[in-house]
């Protein structure tokens, strides 16, 4: 007899980056809120650093700590991409791949209905299949990004793209006009995703094997934002594709009052409504010294008030020190703040004095900003940020600061002009208006609810049928 209990047990296995763990946790909370049990797997320090669910969800979300093996070139205590400079992340992937056995043991002993896994543990789908557990490849890539990566490895003809230049044009399988592609400097910086790294497995292989090995594909997206890309994905993949919505953050006021926030709020309260540029480049993006100098001097030249969260070091292994220009902080005193430690980003974005957000283009940050109708000024660094930026540009939701196509260099003048254009000038009004248009889409709880219900209904209808007295599958 089959188990007819309606609630599911779902294991979640995100990649070790906060830009991945955060949307996984947001989805976990939404599913737990409907009575489903979640086992959230990650390295111990990451779990300790993640925000804790509210008391009503605590019994339904179990955090499972999987210690990473010590390997050469991976600094002790480095468990997330934010703990490492870019060139060391390949060793984090190598250590992560050594969790296959512990993950398999956990799946075997906990006997979940489904596992939702990220691109890095491309091996999770095969393990689940062997154990009679259904699997979801849940990617934090948006529809345009996943479509750009393209069909899985077993599709006819494979991927024709071999050089960085091949990735600066929309792929052949996109049937509509678009500018979604990398700039040359963006793909050049991350071309090891295509050619390989110390883990022995390229990121492109991981992505395509993840798509191939799963039962269904889920992604952080919605038809309200990118309908044509989601329709294309359904054509590309011969398996179900589920957008899970934008996973907007919860209420910023529910996150408690801290001394840090009191100090920041005091400064923000003294600024005029909609005038402040909030500047932050995420947990794993760090400007070079040259970029830092030009961004700083551009902020100074703009004459706008700003609050800049500046990360000058990516973990203990980061030996590339960067410094603000001489006298910069003194010259902008009162008008600009540079903050070098953690901040409550949601509370800042929600504050009425903030009008725009100079961001790296990570989708978490875009969703947070648009949930509070903040105009986006984009300066990309790594990963899928370039593809996100092209979609935002195409929709006139975000404006990218002009940069040298070959090396990505930027001038203080282009930083200042871009900030002033988006924040105050008439020709930048479209970006301010588009941010307002997006707010109802990004913060609408009913839209979000519909996407999650749609996914959960499928997971319930297609759970593996298990014998009540054993953990085996009925054949």
Task: Using pLDDT thresholds of 50, 70 and 90, give the confidence band for residue 283.
Answer: confident
**Beta carbons of 138 and 27 less than 8 angstroms apart:** yes
Residues 94 and 115: their CA atoms lie apart, in Å, by: 21
Identify which has the larger pLDDT, 315 or 122. Answer: 122
**Beta carbons of 109 and 131 less than 8 angstroms apart:** no
Q: Is the dihedral of CA 217, 219, 225, 228 positive or negative?
A: negative
Segment 154-163 shows an average pLDDT of: 70
**In terms of C-beta density within 10 A (0-12 exposed, 13-18 middle, 19 or more buried), how is residue 4 classed?**
exposed
- Identify any residues that bridge with 280 across adjacent strands, giving them in sequence order: 309, 359
Residues 336 and 297: their CA atoms lie apart, in Å, by: 12
pLDDT value for 472: 47
Task: Using pLDDT thresholds of 50, 70 and 90, give the confidence band for residue 192.
Answer: confident
pLDDT value for 469: 42
Task: Using pLDDT thresholds of 50, 70 and 90, give the confidence band for residue 3.
Answer: very low
Mind listing the pLDDT tens digit for each residue in 233-264? 999 998 999 999 999 887 776 556 688 899 99
Residues 264 and 234: their CA atoms lie apart, in Å, by: 45
Mind listing the pLDDT tens digit for each residue in 73-114? 999 999 999 999 888 999 999 999 999 999 999 999 999 999
Segment 131-141 shows an average pLDDT of: 97
pLDDT value for 261: 92
Segment 162-167 shows an average pLDDT of: 93
Q: Topology of domain 9-248+445-461, per CATH?
A: Rossmann fold (3.40.50)
Task: Using pLDDT thresholds of 50, 70 and 90, give the confidence band for residue 465.
Answer: confident
pLDDT value for 475: 33
Close Cβ partners of 390 (under 8 Å, ≥ 6 residues apart)? 144, 178, 179, 180, 181
Q: Where are the domains of the chain?
A: 9-248+445-461, 252-441
9-248+445-461 and 252-441, same CATH topology:
yes
Residues 433 and 416: their CA atoms lie apart, in Å, by: 21
Q: Topology of domain 252-441, per CATH?
A: Rossmann fold (3.40.50)
Residue whose C-alpha is closest to residue 296's, from 325, 276, 321, 320: 325
- Identify any residues that bridge with 12 across adjacent strands, giving them in sequence order: 40, 116
Residues 386 and 185: their CA atoms lie apart, in Å, by: 10
């Amino acid at each position: 007899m089959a188990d007819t209990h309606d609630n599911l047990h779902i294991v979640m296995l995100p990649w070790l980056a906060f830009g991945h763990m955060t949307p996984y946790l947001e989805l976990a909370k939404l599913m737990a809120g409907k009575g489903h049990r979640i086992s959230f797997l990650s390295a111990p320090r990451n779990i300790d650093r993640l925000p804790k669910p509210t008391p009503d969800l605590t019994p339904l979300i179990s955090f499972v700590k999987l210690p990473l093996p010590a390997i050469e070139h991976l600094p002790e205590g480095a468990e997330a991409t934010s703990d490492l400079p870019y060139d060391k992340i390949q060793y984090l992937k190598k250590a992560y791949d050594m969790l296959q056995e512990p993950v398999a043991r956990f799946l075997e002993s906990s006997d979940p209905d489904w596992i939702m896994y990220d691109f890095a543990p491309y091996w999770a789908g095969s393990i689940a299949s062997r154990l009679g557990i259904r699997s979801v490849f849940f990617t934090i890539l948006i529809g345009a990004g996943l479509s750009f990566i393209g069909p899985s490895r077993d599709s006819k003809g494979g991927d024709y793209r071999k050089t960085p230049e091949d990735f600066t044009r929309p792929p052949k399988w996109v049937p509509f006009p678009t500018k979604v592609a990398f700039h040359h400097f963006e793909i050049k910086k991350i071309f090891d995703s295509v050619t390989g790294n110390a883990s022995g497995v390229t990121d492109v292989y991981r992505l395509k094997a993840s798509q191939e090995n799963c039962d269904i594909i889920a992604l952080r997206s919605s038809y309200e934002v990118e309908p044509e890309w989601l329709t294309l994905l359904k054509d590309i993949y011969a398996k179900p594709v589920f957008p899970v919505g934008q996973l907007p953050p919860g209420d910023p006021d529910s996150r408690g009052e801290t001394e840090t926030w009191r100090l920041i709020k005091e400064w923000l309260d003294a600024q005029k409504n909609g005038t402040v540029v909030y500047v932050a480049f995420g947990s794993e993006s760090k400007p070079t010294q040259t970029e830092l100098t030009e961004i700083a001097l551009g902020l100074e030249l703009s004459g706008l008030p700003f609050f800049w969260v500046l990360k000058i070091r990516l973990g203990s292994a980061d030996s590339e020190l960067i410094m603000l220009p001489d006298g910069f902080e003194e010259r902008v005193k009162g008008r600009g703040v540079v903050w070098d430690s953690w901040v409550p980003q949601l509370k800042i974005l929600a504050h009425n004095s903030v009008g725009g957000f100079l961001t790296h283009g990570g989708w978490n940050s875009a969703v947070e900003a648009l949930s509070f109708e903040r105009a986006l000024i984009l300066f990309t660094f790594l990963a899928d940020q370039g593809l996100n930026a092209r979609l935002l540009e195409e929709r006139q939701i975000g404006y990218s600061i002009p940069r040298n196509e070959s090396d990505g260099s930027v001038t203080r003048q282009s930083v200042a002009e871009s900030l002033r254009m988006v924040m105050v000038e008439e020709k930048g009004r479209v970006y301010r208006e588009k941010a307002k248009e997006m707010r109802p889409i990004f913060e609408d709880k009913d839209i979000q609810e519909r996407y999650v219900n749609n996914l959960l209904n499928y997971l319930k209808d297609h759970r593996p049928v298990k014998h009540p007295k054993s953990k085996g599958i009925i054949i």
